[in-house]
């Protein structure tokens, strides 16, 4: 059986409810914390390191919740939400590959912000390349990523780490 290589907003929401990859699969956040509208490309052997890649998008609407509350009279998307979206996508990739458990961000080696997302932007594009996949006692993905707004790169992250845990009680 071949895996889907793109996903709609409805399918991403289904992932948040454990209805896409199975009840024990890593979930995406739901509602406002889901920072992705669609996955336009996902594969297990592409990208710079030949271990997989994922490209996803978020449509920008000036009415998005964070524009009204991040800075008074200075509406901007919080940088932490773009970074979180990148972690969300690493966890999504692991679930797509069949990992089971709860996804948790484990860290990032380096983050650079060189721009911002303002309410008049149209689209954010996330591009991740998987550097390493670990499927042993610990399931983990490590990726490098960029975030673009309307075609201009504004964030980059190296060594995004996400672990998948079957028991988070001692985490």
Residue 70 annotated as catalytic = yes
Backbone angles phi, psi at 59, to 5 degrees: -80, 135
**Which of the following is catalytic: 18, 29, 43, 70?**
70
108: nearest Cα among 85, 92, 124: 85
Q: Whole-angstrom Cα distance, residue 90 to residue 74?
A: 30
88 CB contacts (<8 Å, ≥6 apart)? 28, 29, 34, 35, 36
Ranges of beta strands (E only) in 21-138 are: 38-43, 53-59, 102-107, 110-113, 123-135
| Number of residues assigned to the chain | 171
Q: How far is CA 124 from CA 10, 109, 149, 152, 155, in A?
A: 18, 22, 4, 9, 11
23 CB contacts (<8 Å, ≥6 apart)? none
Active-site annotation, residues: 70
């Amino acid at each position: 059986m071949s895996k889907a290589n793109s996903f709609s907003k409805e399918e991403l929401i289904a992932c948040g409810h454990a209805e896409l990859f199975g009840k024990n699969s890593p979930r995406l956040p739901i509602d406002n914390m889901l920072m992705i509208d669609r996955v336009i490309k996902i594969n297990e052997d592409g990208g710079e390191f030949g271990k997989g890649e994922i490209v996803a998008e978020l449509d920008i609407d000036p009415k998005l919740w964070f524009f009204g509350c991040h800075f008074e009279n200075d509406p901007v998307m919080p940088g932490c939400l773009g970074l979180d979206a990148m972690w969300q996508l690493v966890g999504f990739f692991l679930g797509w590959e069949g990992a089971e458990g709860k996804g948790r961000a484990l860290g990032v080696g380096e983050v650079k912000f060189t721009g911002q997302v303002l309410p008049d932007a149209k689209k954010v594009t996330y591009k991740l390349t998987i550097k390493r996949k670990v499927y042993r006692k610990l399931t983990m993905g490590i990726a490098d990523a960029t975030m673009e707004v309307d075609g201009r790169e504004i964030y980059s992250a190296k060594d995004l780490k996400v672990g998948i845990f079957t028991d988070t009680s001692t985490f």
